[in-house]
Amino acid sequence: MPLALLALAVGAFGIGTTEFVMMGLLPDVADDLDISIPAAGHLVSAYALGVVIGAPLLAALTSKLSRRGVLIGLMALFVAGNALSALAPGHYWLLAARFLSGLPHGAFFGVGAVVATGMVPPERKARSVSLMFLGLTVANIAGVPAATLMGQHLGWRATFLGVSAIGIAAIAALALLIPADRARSAPAASLRGELAALRSLPVWLALLTTVAGFGALFAAYSYVTPMLTGSAGYAETSVTLLLALFGVGATAGNLLGGRLADHSMRGTLFGGLASLAAVLLLFPLLMRAEWSAAVAVALLGTAAFVTGSPLQLMVMEKASAAPSLASSANQAAFNLANAGGAWLGGLTLAAGLGVVSPALAGAALAVLGLAVAALAHAVDRRRAGAAQPGRVVAGHVPDTAEALRH
């Protein structure tokens, strides 16, 4: 595998750290800025909103530019957003800075996935994407706990300065390791061509699979702390270690999914979604004891992240004329899954269905993801059959001229 993938992983590590560290710093930020915890929670939403808006927008606007230059520019914007977060004088300034920090997130992973797959043979594309995402999963093991501890001991502003330093290191790595490329001026790279590629049904089905599949993860993971303390009997002080265990599972699943998807992308996707549904259905049973709850957390990370690489590749494959934009749109879909899954899991808690009920809502979303993936597969087979000369597809009657040709 090219050493250049390390540069993408460093950038992913910084992005993953800043995305998830805010959850652990909410009490410190709320106390320092004299706002409520719910108001501080809007800082998480502001970042997610930046991702959803920035992912397709920045990918489309930079579609003609050098991808190496785009990656460096996106990481520079990431550094600026985190530095401004550290210097924010008040709540609203911090909201704006967090929104700015989220803007380059999706486009970085989107363009990065195109660069990663372009540096390896076709049979290693999924593995190259998984190695880029490795930085994101390792951030949950090391980056987020370390950044949280830094914030608790040195102040939350120090955390964002530290993340900015990671971004600067990523810029240096990108400049040194990513091969130089030229700006693209072909008509297919125009903004109109990029947007037109997103109009097809297979692309939207692939994006919906991402929303449903990762919505299943976040429906449960958003409320894993009350599950561990209220059902499994863990003390709150043990939760951080268990969340690191989730990161270990996610890292293992990410690497496994990359290898398996190079052999069978759709088989890996179906298997991952089915495994995720099974794990979430078992959560009420597994959360009854400490040891089995720890196993459940690790399995949740593994099953969910097995699907990461195949989902990314499937979207890029369906929009081959606009891989950067489609790949970035998939990152926006990940964040919609985050928000939608957490919302659905919260509804089950509000309805009084029990502390483990969000996992069952997640299982339903995983089954929905399987159904959408199956529908996408059926659409692909139908289109492939229609494209083969001389083959009659159900519901299609060839005209006279076509019949005579065959």
Question: What is the rounded average pLDDT of the residues 335-359?
Answer: 86
Question: What is the rounded average pLDDT of the residues 261-272?
Answer: 91
- pLDDT at site 224: 85
- pLDDT at site 387: 62
- pLDDT at site 192: 63
Highest mean pLDDT among 299-308, 330-339, 373-382: 299-308
Answer for the pair 326, 336: CB distance below 8 angstroms, yes or no.
no
Angle at 243 between CA 148 and CA 160, to 5 degrees: 20
- pLDDT at site 193: 60
Query: Is pLDDT at 315 greater than 90 in this prediction?
Result: no
- pLDDT at site 196: 65
pLDDT tens per residue, range 150-181: 887 888 899 999 999 999 999 999 999 988 87
Question: What is the rounded average pLDDT of the residues 43-65?
Answer: 83
- pLDDT at site 404: 35
pLDDT tens per residue, range 56-88: 888 878 877 888 999 999 999 999 999 999 999
Question: What is the rounded average pLDDT of the residues 346-366?
Answer: 91
Question: What is the rounded average pLDDT of the residues 18-39?
Answer: 80
- pLDDT at site 117: 86
**pLDDT band at residue 287 using 50, 70 and 90 as cut-offs:** very high
Q: pTM, whole model, 2 decimals?
A: 0.78
Average pLDDT, whole number, for the chain?
84
Question: What is the rounded average pLDDT of the residues 20-35?
Answer: 81
Token pair 């076709």 is found at 122
Answer for the pair 103, 49: CB distance below 8 angstroms, yes or no.
no
Tokens of 341: 């899954």
Flag the least confident range among 78-82, 163-167, 245-249, 340-344.
340-344
Number of C-alpha atoms within 13 angstroms, CB side, residue 171?
A: 15
Query: Is pLDDT at 259 greater than 80 in this prediction?
Result: yes
Longest alpha-carbon distance in the chain: 80
Residue bearing the bigger pLDDT, 346 or 372:
372
- pLDDT at site 399: 44
Token pair 């990370």 is found at 301
Q: Which domains are delineated in the chain?
A: 1-181 (1.20.1250.20), 194-385 (1.20.1250.20)
Tokens of 31: 């106390």
**pLDDT band at residue 299 using 50, 70 and 90 as cut-offs:** very high
